[in-house]
Structure 1
Amino acid sequence: MKGMMKVKLVIALLVVIAVAIFYYVSLPAINIHATETWKFIFLILAVLFVLYIVRKAKIAGQSKIELSFIKEYTGLKIGVIVFLLFLAVYVAGSILSSPIVNAAKYQKLLKVEEGEFTEDIKQISYDQIPLLDRDSASILGNRKMGSLVDMASQFEVSELYSQINYKGEPVRVTPLRYADTIKWLTNQKEGIPAYIKIDMATQDTELVRLSEGMKYTPYDHFHRNLKRHLRFRYPTYIFDDISFEIDEEGTPYWICSVADYKIGLFGGKTIGRVVLCNAVTGECTDYAVKDVPSWVDRVYSADLLVQLYDYYGSLKHGFINSVLGQKDCLTTTNGYNYLAMNDDVWVYTGVTSITSDQSNVGFVLMNERTMETKYYQVEGAIEDSAMSSAEGKVQNLGYTATFPLLLNITNEPTYFIALKDDSGLVKMYAMVNVQKYQIVATGDSVSECEKNYMELMKQNGVNAETKESDSVKKATGTIAKITDAVVEGNTHQYILLENDSDIYDVSVVDYLDIVRYGVGDTITFEYMEGEQANTVLGIEK
């Protein structure tokens, strides 16, 4: 009898240890809305059921287990019923959570407002236009890492490259990570010592060294692994998207969005809360979405926002209509990009009819921090067509186009596209008019590209001159100081005029006549205001 008790205790202990190890490794949320929780329960029930059958078979001296044997024991029948009951709830919950039976609820998950393009999207200066996409940023980050002899052998660059606004400027930030497990063993005491910050407008790449290393990251192990650290602090939270950001002082944080399911058991996913985890100390702060600090840029991932808009656009007349009739059904195009506005990051994507993929009926901007969404009815070319037009302009060079940014150029909706060579580096820029996509201009610099674009608009009957007067200004004065610098391989002259505190930036490539001027000369030029320096658009002779 005592021997049997010992065996039962050993088996129970082994089961508990196995369950604990499985939980420690897989880290399921203890939440009925989490599918991994249900799978965890199914696994436990299955293990207990099998152990119970084996035990009963051993007592009965059965070497072969058949259905008739299971029917003989009430405990086994109860186990089967419990398992089937859980399975039935899971299946029913999945069906009742789907858009098939809840189309109206899915369609209302996202609130969309009508926007006015010229009022909401102001023309921005050149030093605020994010010229780099994620792939180009990755190339710059890896090059920067390769130049650091003291770190290159121990660390490598993570592929996160989160786009954020840092002190009003669009930047991408990404942490370093341990090169391998051995490097983690030798460096984990000090932690990850730095992160990389890339200015997306100037392409300046900086390795930011920390006074104390990051010790809570996805690249650590055991209790310092970020997901495990979060799970043990918040066992019921279903973490959806985790991004890397820095606050206004440059302190690294993990922004951990917590999923909230609005429809049934598993449907209608949005974001309910946000946990901010200090990457250095591991300190966590839990916020409701409305209370998240303003420096945080990414609460809702771009993929989630796009999915919510697709529900909004396609389910207006029910699920069946979205599949068969497709009346009034809209969907997003096959890509997105980011705009920095009002110190927030907005996801931009085009909107097209499900039944036609040749043109856009408009576009949407979706705020990654607040989920605020605005729709702009601007008919025109889809992004793919604009990209093809831009590539066609430089087909002799073989450059490839990045997914466009949407800019306001003299009140004209304009696709701005970076053109990259085979190595992934940005070599030229293109502007394509959204509504008249045959208007395509290219240039080696942004200023040259815009100058060519505005000339093309005039040639094609678009009244750019009138609209230009709001943003393009004229200055006349005596040169008090003039100096030169090389920016992105091109020479620029920076001018100070007497009794004028502004700095004026002249691209020598675009305006070679500037070399004729010196201190004391009188000069007249047109310019556009910028954050750090005004960009000269033309010099009067």
Structure 2
Amino acid sequence: MKKIQRNLIILVVLGLIGFAYYYVTLPAINIHSSGFWVFIISAIVAALAIYGFARLKNADEMKNSKVIKAGGVIIIVVILIYAVGSLLSSPVINAKKYQQILKVEEREFTEDIEEISFSQIPILDKASAELLGDRKMGSMVKIVSQFEASNHYTQINYQGEPVRVTPLKYASLIKWFTNRSEGIPAYIKIDMASQDVEVVQLENEIRYSDSEHFGRNIYRYLRFKYPTYIFDNINFEIDDNGVPYWVCPVKDFTIGLFGGETVGRVILLNAVTGETINYAVEDVPQWIDRVYSSELVISYYDYYGTLKHGYFNSILGQKDCIQTTDGYNYIALEDDVWLYTGVTSVTGDQSNVGFVLINQRTMETRYYSVEGATEVSAMSSAEGQVQEMGYIATFPLLLNISGEPTYFIALKDDEGLVKRYAMVNVEKYQLVAIGGSVAECEKIYSKLLVSSGISSTADSDIMKKTGIISRIAQSVIEGNSHYYIMLEGSRDIFDVDVADLVGIIRYAEGDTITIEYAVGKETNEVISIVE
């Protein structure tokens, strides 16, 4: 009877330890998951440890125990299976299969990348968006003491505009405890072009998020609902009605046990209700923008570019080997978010042979053969134009300006605020235009294209108008003074940044003024005052 009781205690203790480990680490019950193999090994080790503590009296008995020896053999076998499976799944053995994961189509730059208006250019990177989000939260007196902005800031297309969205999260464990019954009341939406920040208050609060604990934590909630699924990076998005969702890609492995990682299915989790919909990857709704993670699709293209002549050629001879450059950005195209990155030789020279766009919803890949400077070179060139100010360049965005592939770069100060904008010609990166606004920068750049003989006529959104000032008002936006003016006979509002156009202070209502401006959604941005 004592022996039976002791065995039952061992089983109960082992079960409790196993459940606790599973509850915390959440491995998928799937042979393709590395976490599952670690779980098996950990379970065997724990079982042997408990058995030795409960049944064996000293080290000699443990050394001679058949159970301990058998357990050791099982652990070695499991490790060998994992190691062999990893090798047989690797590019060393399957270079051709890895190289063919991605289907790449060669396209023409000017046919695919249309010129866009200034109001559609996403001028903020993630770091700048986070800074604006934190500042906005600081002004929300009612909720800032209990919540803070999460760090997701997913870039999506929302109703045709480039935005970043992130949910709020509980500020601490205690504040989760005091607010968990109501949930998270809002998410942050940042317009990447206008820099407008909105804290969207929800009628029904978010109850499922990564800042929750126990059953409502999205990772735990999904694990117990889909125990065999291996999830990739989970993204926060909103649908066209502003309803918050978690987009949860499910990994699939197409080469051996652990190789050829891709996405086979997508779980759409309603952040408010917890309702889930299970989609095949090809059936994902159009409004979802991010299924394949940036790191995953970049690795796909690197396999495509380096493994054309086998694995060992990618290490030794490196014939015809190309790879992506260090860094990436996003382009809104055809109502989807496309990852952009340059393509360069693996020898690490300072020039690109082209660039690639990869659709993060469908994995469609387009290559454009455009030789020119790498993004890092363009960033250095832009920083050199404002070196006395010490501004730091963000990773470029690729635009079509007057038919020319052009790097668009935001220049930030030490506090992370965007102070200037730069446009750098991809093929001739010595051509650099710097402006205090996007419109001003584009005007200077267009003139550079004409003066350098690259373009005989540079199309521009810049317009010119003369009129009598009917109204003038002053405002301060993020510490910068702006004048808003209206002209007689027009309902348009013109925004004048005093830091760039200090001459505006000479004007008053009734004065005649001639301005050059770029058309915007709500206000027109004045880029010069013609004296």
Shorter-chain TM-score above 0.5? yes
Amino acid at match of 1:34: S
1:185 paired to 2:177: yes
Match of 2:303 among 299, 311, 317: 311
Q: Distance in 2 between matches of 1:189 and 1:121?
A: 48
Shift of 1:384: 0.8
For 1:225, the equivalent position in structure 2 comes to: 217
Distance 1:104 1:504, change over 3 A: farther
For 1:19, the equivalent position in structure 2 comes to: 18
Amino acid at match of 1:24: Y
More moved, 84-93 vs 221-230: 84-93
Match of 1:353 among 327, 340, 345: 345
1:156 paired to 2:152: no
Match of 2:199 among 193, 201, 207: 207
Q: Distance in 1 between matches of 2:247 and 2:23?
A: 22
Cα deviation 1:4-49 (Å, max 9, x = unaligned): 1111111111111111111111111000000000111112222334
For 2:111, the equivalent position in structure 1 comes to: 119
Q: Distance in 2 between matches of 1:446 and 1:473?
A: 11
1:279 paired to 2:271: yes
For 1:320, the equivalent position in structure 2 comes to: 312
Q: Distance in 2 between matches of 1:415 and 1:165?
A: 21
Shift of 1:65: 3.6
For 1:300, the equivalent position in structure 2 comes to: 292
Shift of 1:55: 6.1
Cα deviation 1:409-451 (Å, max 9, x = unaligned): 0000000011111111001101000000000010111111111
> Does the aligned pair in 2 maintain the 1:477–1:497 contact within 8 Å?
no
1:433 paired to 2:422: no
Shift of 1:84: 2.9
Shift of 1:532: 6.3
Cα deviation 1:358-400 (Å, max 9, x = unaligned): 1011111111111111111100011111111111111111111
Cα deviation 1:147-180 (Å, max 9, x = unaligned): 1111111111111111111111111111111111
1:237 paired to 2:233: no
> Could you tell me the percent identity over the aligned residues?
54
For 1:424, the equivalent position in structure 2 comes to: 416
Q: Distance in 1 between matches of 2:473 and 2:502?
A: 13
For 2:371, the equivalent position in structure 1 comes to: 379
Amino acid at match of 1:439: L
1:394-409 to 2 correspondence within 5 Å? 394-409=386-401
1:245-260 to 2 correspondence within 5 Å? 245-260=237-252
The unaligned stretches of length 5 or more in structure 2 are: none
For 1:32, the equivalent position in structure 2 comes to: 31
Q: Distance in 2 between matches of 1:405 and 1:493?
A: 32
Distance 1:432 1:347, change over 3 A: same
Shift of 1:464: 4.5
Shift of 1:516: 8.5
For 2:3, the equivalent position in structure 1 comes to: 4
Q: Distance in 1 between matches of 2:506 and 2:481?
A: 17
For 1:452, the equivalent position in structure 2 comes to: 444
| Secondary structure class of the residue paired with 1:232 | helix
For 1:334, the equivalent position in structure 2 comes to: 326
> Does the aligned pair in 2 maintain the 1:511–1:538 contact within 8 Å?
no
More moved, 224-233 vs 207-216: 207-216
More moved, 350-359 vs 505-514: 505-514
Match of 1:195 among 187, 197, 200: 187
For 2:280, the equivalent position in structure 1 comes to: 288
Q: Distance in 2 between matches of 1:233 and 1:79?
A: 32
The unaligned stretches of length 5 or more in structure 1 are: none
Cα deviation 1:311-369 (Å, max 9, x = unaligned): 11111111101011111111111101111112211111111000132101111111111
Amino acid at match of 1:41: I
Q: Distance in 2 between matches of 1:476 and 1:18?
A: 75
> Does the aligned pair in 1 maintain the 2:496–2:504 contact within 8 Å?
no
Cα RMSD (Å) of the superposition?
A: 3.0
Distance 1:354 1:38, change over 3 A: same
> Does the aligned pair in 2 maintain the 1:137–1:198 contact within 8 Å?
yes
Q: TM-score, normalised by structure 1?
A: 0.89
Q: Distance in 2 between matches of 1:285 and 1:296?
A: 13
For 1:86, the equivalent position in structure 2 comes to: 78
Cα deviation 1:159-204 (Å, max 9, x = unaligned): 1111111111111111111111110110000011111111111111
Cα deviation 1:98-131 (Å, max 9, x = unaligned): 1111111111111111111101000110110011
Q: Distance in 2 between matches of 1:261 and 1:368?
A: 18
Amino acid at match of 1:18: I
Amino acid at match of 2:362: T
> Does the aligned pair in 2 maintain the 1:431–1:449 contact within 8 Å?
yes
1:362-373 to 2 correspondence within 5 Å? 362-373=354-365
> Does the aligned pair in 1 maintain the 2:358–2:364 contact within 8 Å?
yes
> Does the aligned pair in 2 maintain the 1:404–1:415 contact within 8 Å?
yes
Q: Distance in 2 between matches of 1:27 and 1:221?
A: 13
Distance 1:472 1:52, change over 3 A: closer
Q: Distance in 2 between matches of 1:503 and 1:299?
A: 41
> Does the aligned pair in 2 maintain the 1:433–1:440 contact within 8 Å?
yes
1:507-522 to 2 correspondence within 5 Å? none
Match of 1:173 among 165, 179, 195: 165
For 1:141, the equivalent position in structure 2 comes to: 133
Q: TM-score, normalised by structure 2?
A: 0.91
Q: Distance in 1 between matches of 2:268 and 2:205?
A: 17
| Secondary structure class of the residue paired with 1:239 | coil
Amino acid at match of 2:327: G
Amino acid at match of 1:460: S
Count of equivalent residues? 526
> Does the aligned pair in 2 maintain the 1:381–1:435 contact within 8 Å?
yes
Q: Distance in 2 between matches of 1:325 and 1:286?
A: 45
Q: Distance in 2 between matches of 1:219 and 1:378?
A: 44
> Does the aligned pair in 2 maintain the 1:454–1:464 contact within 8 Å?
no
Distance 1:111 1:510, change over 3 A: farther
Amino acid at match of 2:18: V
Q: Distance in 2 between matches of 1:116 and 1:514?
A: 47
Q: Distance in 1 between matches of 2:78 and 2:349?
A: 44
Amino acid at match of 1:299: V
More moved, 504-513 vs 118-127: 504-513
Q: Distance in 2 between matches of 1:298 and 1:265?
A: 26
More moved, 403-412 vs 84-93: 84-93
> Does the aligned pair in 1 maintain the 2:513–2:529 contact within 8 Å?
no
> Does the aligned pair in 1 maintain the 2:474–2:481 contact within 8 Å?
no
Distance 1:505 1:272, change over 3 A: farther
> Does the aligned pair in 2 maintain the 1:504–1:536 contact within 8 Å?
no
Shift of 1:310: 0.7
Shift of 1:481: 8.6
Amino acid at match of 1:64: D
